[in-house]
């Protein structure tokens, strides 16, 4: 077994500070995992892949739960260059907690976990975790080294568009869906109606709406309807969130949506950012509505709750609540949507038509009328 090493000392304000290593082509006789060494990211889960000896590899993953807590996994094994699979039988899960003085307390949850990582030539990998299925739905992408000046240039080159020609009203495309647009109301983590939400309607790209219609049709046959909290989100709304997060005094909705967190960790932990996938038009937040009980299905947590409770695989909920989350997840992934590891309600069309474009038009029916 390879030596396990803690990464918790690399935590800073809830963010993982990892060294970014450029993969290099493996020469004859070299460890083939050299083609894939480096740092990877999947949502809030960071991963470090290292070569060990001539054929061994070690993978260390860190999932930040809060500013003072994180989950670490360590695995090692032999990398098969033919299948590009790294199998392991020594997986260890460690829970870290730190007090306000930075003292790290650790607890080993299990050892000798089994599973595998499957790499591909695009410098991504998936994780088949047989112990807890913690890797289900995660796709880790290699994180290149980007100098600050290049990062700033990328920000300036961000593509914005007010062209709504490929968008539709969700209520017309998926008539069985129920709408509860939280950001048009004041019942959200900000406590105000959010900029850019001018009507309680939902907009999506045609491609995402067509896929969602298939999801809806399947679930209606099982006695459920989709209930939509949010879909396309204009950039002005994201800017509203950013401005709110910078106002330390405004904590009106803390007890409902982020009781475990202080606002100063929302940026480093990724709850708030300058841009949102929702603005690309193929991401939505939703739950299930049970037609028999005429109530929302119990997911064990509320929409937009900032915390580990919202992770789809959170273990502190009932079996029924977990199965409800998996019912929604299976319905969405079966029709081409990718889940988010930190939010049970959040899904993005895998083949989204505008992966690099962020739209700016407001949420109202006029935005798509006559388009």
Which residues are known to be catalytic? 343
Strands 45-52 and 283-290: unpaired
> Whole-angstrom Cα distance, residue 81 to residue 53?
15
3-state secondary structure of 58: strand
CA-based nearest residue to 40, from 189, 143, 163, 129 = 143
Q: How far apart are CA 193 and CA 78, in angstroms?
A: 53
Q: Report residue 60 as tokens.
A: 């260390």
Strands 85-98 vs 56-66: parallel, antiparallel or unpaired:
unpaired
∠ CA 27-28-34, rounded to 5°: 40
CA 251 to chain centre: 24
Beta-strand pair 357-359/159-161: parallel
The kind and range of the H/E element at 189 are: none
């Amino acid at each position: 077994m390879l030596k396990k090493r803690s990464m918790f000392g690399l935590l800073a304000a809830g963010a993982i500070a990892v060294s970014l290593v450029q993969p290099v082509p493996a020469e004859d006789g070299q460890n083939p995992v050299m083609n894939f060494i480096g740092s990877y990211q999947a949502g809030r889960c960071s991963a470090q892949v290292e070569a060990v000896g001539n054929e061994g590899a070690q993978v260390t993953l860190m999932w930040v739960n809060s500013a003072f807590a994180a989950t670490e996994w360590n695995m090692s094994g032999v990398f098969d260059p033919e299948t590009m699979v790294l199998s392991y039988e020594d997986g260890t899960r460690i829970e870290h907690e730190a007090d306000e003085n930075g003292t790290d307390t650790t607890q080993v949850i299990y050892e000798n976990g089994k599973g595998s990582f499957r790499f591909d030539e695009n410098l991504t990998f998936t994780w088949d975790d047989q112990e807890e299925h913690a890797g289900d739905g995660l796709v880790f992408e290699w994180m290149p080294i980007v100098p600050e000046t290049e990062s700033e240039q990328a920000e300036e080159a961000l593509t914005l568009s007010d062209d709504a020609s490929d968008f539709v009203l969700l209520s017309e495309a998926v008539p069985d869906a129920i709408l509860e647009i939280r950001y048009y109301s004041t019942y959200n983590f900000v406590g105000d109606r959010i900029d850019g939400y001018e009507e309680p309607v939902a907009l999506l790209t045609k491609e995402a709406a067509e896929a969602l219609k298939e999801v809806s049709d399947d679930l209606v046959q099982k006695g459920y309807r989709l209930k939509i909290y949010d879909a396309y989100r204009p950039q002005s709304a994201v800017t509203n969130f950013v401005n709110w997060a910078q106002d330390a005094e405004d904590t009106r909705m803390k007890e409902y949506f982020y009781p475990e967190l202080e606002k100063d960790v929302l940026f480093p932990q990724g709850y708030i950012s300058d841009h949102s996938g929702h603005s690309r038009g193929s991401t939505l937040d939703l739950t299930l509505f049970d037609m028999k009980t005429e109530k929302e299905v119990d997911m064990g947590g509320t929409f937009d709750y900032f915390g580990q409770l919202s992770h789809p695989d959170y273990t502190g909920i009932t079996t029924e609540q977990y199965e409800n989350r998996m019912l929604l997840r299976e319905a969405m992934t079966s029709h081409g949507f990718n889940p988010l590891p930190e939010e049970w309600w959040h899904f993005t069309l895998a083949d989204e038509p505008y992966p690099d474009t962020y739209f700016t038009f407001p949420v109202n029916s006029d935005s798509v009328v006559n388009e």
